[in-house]
Amino acid sequence: MSNNIRFDYTKAEKFLSQREMESMKFAVMNAKDRLLSGQGEGSDFQGWVDLPVNYDKDEFERIKAAAKKIQSDSDVLIVIGIGGSYLGARAAIEYLRHGFYNEMEKEDRKTPQIYYVGNSMSSNYLQDVIDVMGDKDFSINVISKSGTTTESAIAFRIFRKLLVQKYGEAEAAKRIYSTTDKARGALKTMSDEKGYECFVIPDDVGGRFSVLTAVGLLPIAVSGADIDQLMEGAAKGRELAMNTAYEENASLLYAAARNVFYRKGKNIEI
């Protein structure tokens, strides 16, 4: 489908015949049509389909500005979130920058270290992050649709307290960036009351599909990756996935292969 990403299933061909792949064409194309027309199950949460070409351009510019500010005044960014609220950003940063991004020398990395918390109840892990961070200047990006997710709420309380102790209430508020619901929820209410810069998790985008929203874009931008190029590439990928013929469409062929395997009881992919 592109010069960089291909779907090569030759290693699976002894378990998967070409006839089986061809037999899946009607079902896969039908599923694609239902997805793009919004007629499939879960259509209320399919905003991710059009994200590469239909996103808030003003917020996008605010994300880039916030990333530059964090890069200029912080040695560390603490990303607080669980599941899709941090995994997309982490995967993108490790792919686009370096698998051991935080361990790179500062002069090579050139951007803040990024640590992920709020994804478990481990007090040892939180203390380990605090120990590694030391006395470095830091900012927080707290990500939660509701603001009431237990793991993330606990981590936010702990790191917000450290931030206030280090900088005072006024400066701490300038170093906290929230990504949450546009209108309601505990985190949105607190952000408005405290004056945190706030970014939006769209209502029609689920957490695991949110990497191209502020959920993923702010940490990715802080890492130094070019999010303009990222969105441009996503738009090209979307166009290819939508318009390339089934026989050459990596997205559709992958869906077909996985479905064939699933029907055979092979539902674990390594």
CATH number at residue 72: 3.40.50.10490
pLDDT at 233 over 60: yes
What is the residue range of 195's domain? 57-225
Round to whole Å and give the CA distance between 129 and 18.
50
Encoded tokens for 101: 């991004």
Mean pLDDT of 230-237: 96
Structural domain includes residue 23: no
pLDDT at 249 over 70: yes
* pLDDT classification of 1: cutoffs 50, 70, 90: very low
Mean pLDDT of 29-35: 95
Structural domain includes residue 186: yes
Round to whole Å and give the CA distance between 118 and 156.
7
Q: Work out how many domains the chain is built from and give that number.
A: 1
Most confident of 36-45, 97-106, 127-136: 127-136
Structural domain includes residue 211: yes
Mean pLDDT of 17-39: 94
Residue pLDDT, tens place only, 179-188:
999 999 999 9
pLDDT of residue 4: 63
Residue 178: CA count within 13 A, CB half-sphere = 29
Average pLDDT over the chain, rounded to an integer:
94
pLDDT at 3 over 70: no
* pLDDT classification of 2: cutoffs 50, 70, 90: very low
Per DSSP bridges, beta strands 76-80 and 176-180 are: unpaired
Round to whole Å and give the CA distance between 237 and 48.
13
Structural domain includes residue 146: yes
Structural domain includes residue 159: yes
pLDDT of residue 160: 98
pLDDT of residue 136: 98
Q: Is 237 in contact with 52 (CB distance < 8 Å)?
A: yes
Structural domain includes residue 230: no
Structural domain includes residue 12: no
Structural domain includes residue 43: no
